[in-house]
Amino acid sequence: MTPHSVATRRRAPRVFVSYAHEDERHRRTLEAFLVQIERDGLIAGWHDRKILAGQRWEKEIDQQLEQADIVILLVTQRFLASSYINGRELVRALEREAAKEARVIPVLVDESDWINSPFARRKIQAVPRDGKPIVRYRPQSGGWTKVAEEIRRVAEVLADGPNGAAGPVEELIGCSLAGGPFGAVAGRGSVGARSLGAPVPFDRITDFWKADRSTVEAGTVVAIEGTLSEFAPLVLGSPTAKRSAHLEFRRALAAGGLDNQRRRTAVNALLAFSAGQMVWRLDLKGTGWKYLGLYQAIVRNSIAVFVEEEIYRKQVREVFRQGDGRSTVEARVVGRLQELPESFISRYLERHHLGDNIEPRIITRTDRPIYGIVIDGEGGSSVEYVGATRYLDGDIWVAVDLGGEQRVLSRFCDLSDPEDLRAEAAALRADVVALGREARLLFEFDQVDRMKPGYQSISVESFVGEILGRNETGSEG
């Protein structure tokens, strides 16, 4: 069994429609104006008329509201007067909006005292934007069209982002999860070895990335000595491509011309990620694989390594034990090459329309595909202990939201030195605390030994479940 490349696309944002039953006709009209957005795969709509016979309606409503990325409020005086809506649905919707778990969109349908409503006091932007309810439009279809345009705009922002109302850093982390390790291990397709004979040897990782296409291709068995670590590279691909991308992002920031805060935040996040020095340790529960990194001196010079879980338990875990239980060892890795999904950074640039400032395909400007090494027991794949690691330079990091401004905080350390790693991780925790109570943790580099278990906005587990579930049903890849 070998991981294979699949087309990874985030699920369409879930839309929950909250309305008074007396406004059923308005709900049906809204549905008609959103049908094309749903056909385009940008949203997946839900309302209580979809509850099936025999289902517990209150439980189903609560569950759908909890899962929603967008909550649409059909605002009329009847909606505002509803005890059930104001005592339950609206309260929870605003709680999730405050926690940045969902986007709330009030739709002003009829004349009402909405200006004194809880969502108005929270200064949540209603649509139509001019505060003019749809009933005043002539024809009213003009108002509904404006509403649909606004909902489409929000859906396009959220469609590929992780966990609902995402900002640039959240989107970048989510794209890297879906397009990198989970995109690679989502399936169980087979890539046969080109040869079961002697593997193609490489003395250095840099030599591997410089090798021509006639030497390596998907399925080729290779043997490389390097620093094997439980901390895997965040950005995949050749060190030359990473360095070029990093310089390009620095140039774009220095040149200016980024016309809004969102674009500046996006490029700042890319600047941190694209240095190629950041690592993460992921828990790939449910996939059957372990995700590791093979390095040469620095994290930027790396190859992703995917080890079948059973082989990890029987063989690779013992290799790390020989290194005194450290998370890095010198090892000889023999495995088959697997072509990985195209770099998530190029897709991220395209999503943020940064082509005028940065060449969208800068990160993949290389003469070869992006490869990883698969260790699954086939083709002579194995991991052998060589010795203790003297030094591995890398960056540990967290992503936080500070009152709507998103930041990536990082510290560099010697990943081969447990004391240095612990000290810098503690310093990173202190950096987060120093930001104050307003700081919200989005994601942290170590998903095995987390700072605050259960306390982060981006769920790795949701990516695992979604991608594996989609692959099993055959709807993707």
pLDDT averaged over the chain?
Answer: 81
Q: How far apart, in whole angstroms, are the C-alpha atoms of residue 269 and residue 263?
A: 10
Rounded to 5 degrees, φ, ψ at 449 are -125, 80
Report the side by side order of strands in the sheet with 103-108.
44-46, 14-18, 70-75, 103-108
Q: DSSP 3-state assignment of 104?
A: strand
The model's pTM is: 0.65
Which residues, including other chains, have CB under 8 Å from residue 259's CB and lie 6 or more apart? none
Q: How far apart, in whole angstroms, are the C-alpha atoms of residue 342 and residue 364?
A: 8
The string of pLDDT tens digits covering residues 261-281 is 666 667 777 777 777 889 999
Q: How far apart, in whole angstroms, are the C-alpha atoms of residue 204 and residue 188?
A: 30
pLDDT at site 401: 79
What would the 3-class secondary structure string for 172-198 be?
A: HHHHHHHHCHHHHHCCCCCCCCCCCCC
The string of pLDDT tens digits covering residues 356-381 is 666 655 555 455 678 899 998 887 89
Per-residue pLDDT, averaged over 69-89, amounts to 94
CA neighbor of 379 nearest in space, from 207, 218, 233: 218
Instruction: Tokens for 420, please give them.
Output: 């240095």
CA neighbor of 304 nearest in space, from 232, 366, 254: 232
Query: Residue 248: beta bridge partners?
Result: none
CA neighbor of 69 nearest in space, from 105, 40, 37: 105
What CATH code would you report for 14-158? 3.40.50.10140
- Which run of H or E residues covers position 9? none
Per-residue pLDDT, averaged over 47-65, amounts to 85
The string of pLDDT tens digits covering residues 149-186 is 999 888 877 764 444 445 677 777 777 776 666 666 65
Q: What is the DSSP string of 293-338?
A: EEEESEEEEEEEEEEEHHHIIIIIHHHHHHTTT-SEEEEEEEEEEE
Angle of helix 261-274 relative to helix 168-179, nearest 10 degrees? 40
Inform me whether the pLDDT recorded for 2 exceeds 70.
no
pLDDT at site 193: 46
Q: Please indicate whether residue 137 or residue 186 has the higher confidence score (pLDDT).
A: 137
Which residues, including other chains, have CB under 8 Å from residue 419's CB and lie 6 or more apart? none
Q: Hey, CA dihedral for 271, 172, 412, 337, is it positive or negative?
A: negative
Instruction: Tokens for 69, please give them.
Output: 């990325």
Greatest extent of the chain over all pairs of C-alpha atoms, in Å: 78
- Say how many CA atoms lie within 13 Å of 441 toward its Cβ: 22
CB 181 within 8 A of CB 460: no
At 128, the pLDDT band (50, 70, 90 cuts) reads very high
Inform me whether the pLDDT recorded for 256 exceeds 90.
no
- Torsion angle (degrees, nearest 10) of CA 169, 171, 172, 177: 130
Domain ranges (residues) in the chain? 14-158, 168-473
pLDDT at site 197: 62
Q: Which of 37-51, 112-126, 445-459 has the lowest mean pLDDT?
A: 445-459
Rounded to 5 degrees, φ, ψ at 336 are -95, 145
Work out the percent of the chain whose per-residue pLDDT is above 70. 78
Give the single-character DSSP code of 364: G
Inform me whether the pLDDT recorded for 254 exceeds 70.
yes
* Alpha helix segments (H runs only) across 159-260: 168-179, 181-185, 205-210, 239-255
Q: DSSP 3-state assignment of 382?
A: strand
